Each structure stands twice: as structure tokens, then as C-alpha cells.
């Protein structure tokens, strides 16, 4: 076992700020997606999985782990074509099956298209990972435009609703929905007001849907992440916050996407057959009371 405090890079970080949504290849240090360490055991063999934001960040680590576990993966992404193609090539190099769909999940029509194209390609949908998110750090509520507020809510909470609604008729008993919430659902940051609000909403959406779909045999759970080193960070935060990102956690560093992927695998496979409405917190020791 390795010391969790020193297992991965600790701040301060020297990485350039970017335009959102951020490009992985421009980060320093690069995120760890588990592509050299994750070992599968066919826990998701022949399952069909849709992952929003699967081109980078947490979504990329999850997409890789699912593919290694035998799943057929559908990567939904906005417009980061280089990252998406690189992720797809990594999966194909491991003999995995994958295809990508670009477009804006804020639009209900596009979410319907994701489901339709998945059914056309693979004939089924078994797991949906609602992972894509938008945030911008702002020091004053006066700096948050109505457009930014709408974008945050439509990306983070409207899209999961759209996808669940579009997929419902295709989901058989034993299907799984996994939503990505945040430590901000418990301890909201004062500079992430819209984002924190959506993450609280996602947690409640998870609990409500778990009850609503229990009679269908579909389980609905969430993963609450702490500060995770993804392209979203240098694309949405100030230079000072990026430099010291994750430093205030008990482990003294941000988490890596690879450290979250196993939780998503567990929530997608038969290991979680009696788990629904739950949230798994992976926060580097930050409390979630």
C-alpha cells in the first residue's frame, strides 16, 4: 500500500490557465487516468455504457475502466475532438469497443440523439454515467451572468434529466444510473455558487430517481468527488487557486481521476445490486456531514 498523501503530485502546480472546457494535454502535471494500472475482471462484460464528458477528466478514467471491464463504451463530449479521439484510440488499443458522439447535452434533442445512436450501434443501454459538468469560479454574485447560471444548470442537472427520460424505455432491470455530484453538495464553496447549487440538486435527483425506478429494478446512485485534477480546473479557476488546488484537503493534494473510477465500476456492476439512492464520497478526507 502507498501513502495516500504522497501517492500523487502535491501542490503547488505550475500549469497554464486555459479556455474552458480545457484540454488535458496542456496540463502540468498530467492527470492519471489509470491507463497503466487499472486491471479488469469482466465485471461489465457486454454491458453498454454511456459516459458524458468521457473524453477527459473523471469521465475518461471511468470510460477506460469500464472498457477494461468488458463494457461497450459510448463517449459523449462537447467539442474536445483531440481528447475524445485519443481516449477512443486508447480503448481500441486494448481491444475495447467504443464510439464517440459530440454535441451539447444542454439540448434535449441532442440527449435523445445520444440514446438513439447508442441503440442503433449496440442495440441496448445498460448504464448511464452522468458526469459532464460546467463551473466557473466567481468572487462576487455580480460577476455571474444569467447566461452562465443557465449554462451551469443545463449542463449539470438538466442533461441528466434529459438522458434518463430518453433512456427509460430502453433500460431493463439491472440497469444502472450513476450521477456525479461533489463535496460541494455538503460544503458549498463561496466562489462556486451555481455549481454548488447544481451538485446539491444532483444528490437529490439521485435519491428521488432511486425511489421512482426501484420498481423497475433500476438502481440509481452517485459519486461525490472532492477536488479532482482535471482539465476543468485550469480552465475555470484563477491562477492562485490552480496553483494550490487540493492543498487544503487532509491529504494535502487533489485526487486523480484514476482514484474515482473503481467506485463507478462498483456502482455499475452486480456488486451493487442492493445499493440504490446512495452517494459514495471520494473527497481526500474532507468531511461530508
Question: Catalytic residue positions?
Answer: 195
CA-nearest of 58, 29, 5 to 234 is: 29
- How many angstroms separate the CA atoms of 81 and 103, rounded? 11
Burial, 243: exposed, middle or buried (Cβ in 10 Å; 0-12, 13-18, 19+)? middle
CA-nearest of 72, 116, 62, 117 to 92 is: 72
Q: Are 35 and 27 in contact (CB under 8 A)?
A: no
Quick count: other Cβ atoms within 10 Å of Cβ 14?
9
Angle at 112 between CA 130 and CA 93, to 5 degrees: 60
Amino acid at each position: 500500500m502507498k501513502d495516500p498523501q504522497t501517492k500523487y503530485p502535491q501542490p503547488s502546480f505550475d500549469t497554464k490557465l486555459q479556455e474552458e472546457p480545457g484540454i488535458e494535454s496542456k496540463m502540468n502535471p498530467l492527470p492519471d487516468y489509470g491507463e497503466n494500472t487499472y486491471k479488469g475482471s469482466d465485471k461489465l462484460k457486454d454491458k453498454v455504457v454511456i459516459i458524458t464528458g468521457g473524453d477527459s477528466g473523471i469521465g475518461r478514467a471511468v470510460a477506460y475502466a469500464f472498457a477494461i471491464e468488458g463494457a461497450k463504451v459510448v463517449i459523449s463530449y462537447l467539442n474536445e475532438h483531440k481528447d475524445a479521439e485519443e481516449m477512443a484510440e486508447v480503448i481500441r488499443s486494448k481491444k475495447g469497443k467504443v464510439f464517440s458522439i459530440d454535441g451539447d447535452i444542454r439540448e434535449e434533442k441532442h440527449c435523445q440523439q445520444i440514446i438513439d445512436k447508442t441503440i442503433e450501434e449496440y442495440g441496448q443501454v445498460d448504464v448511464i454515467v452522468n458526469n459532464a459538468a460546467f463551473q466557473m469560479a466567481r468572487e462576487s454574485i455580480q460577476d455571474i451572468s444569467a447566461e452562465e447560471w443557465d449554462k451551469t444548470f443545463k449542463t449539470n442537472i438538466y442533461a441528466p434529466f434529459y438522458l434518463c427520460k430518453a433512456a427509460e424505455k430502453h433500460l431493463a432491470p439491472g440497469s444502472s444510473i450513476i450521477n456525479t455530484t461533489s463535496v460541494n453538495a455538503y460544503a458549498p464553496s463561496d466562489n462556486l455558487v451555481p455549481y454548488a447549487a447544481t451538485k446539491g440538486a444532483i444528490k437529490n435527483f439521485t435519491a428521488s430517481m432511486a425511489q421512482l425506478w426501484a420498481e423497475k429494478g433500476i438502481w440509481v446512485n452517485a459519486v461525490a468527488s472532492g477536488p479532482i485534477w482535471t482539465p476543468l480546473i485550469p480552465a475555470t479557476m484563477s491562477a492562485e487557486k490552480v496553483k494550490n488546488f487540493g492543498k487544503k484537503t487532509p491529504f494535502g493534494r487533489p485526487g486523480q481521476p484514476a482514484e474515482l473510477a473503481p467506485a463507478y465500476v462498483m456502482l455499475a456492476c452486480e456488486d451493487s445490486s442492493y445499493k440504490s439512492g446512495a452517494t459514495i464520497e471520494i473527497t481526500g478526507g474532507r468531511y461530508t456531514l
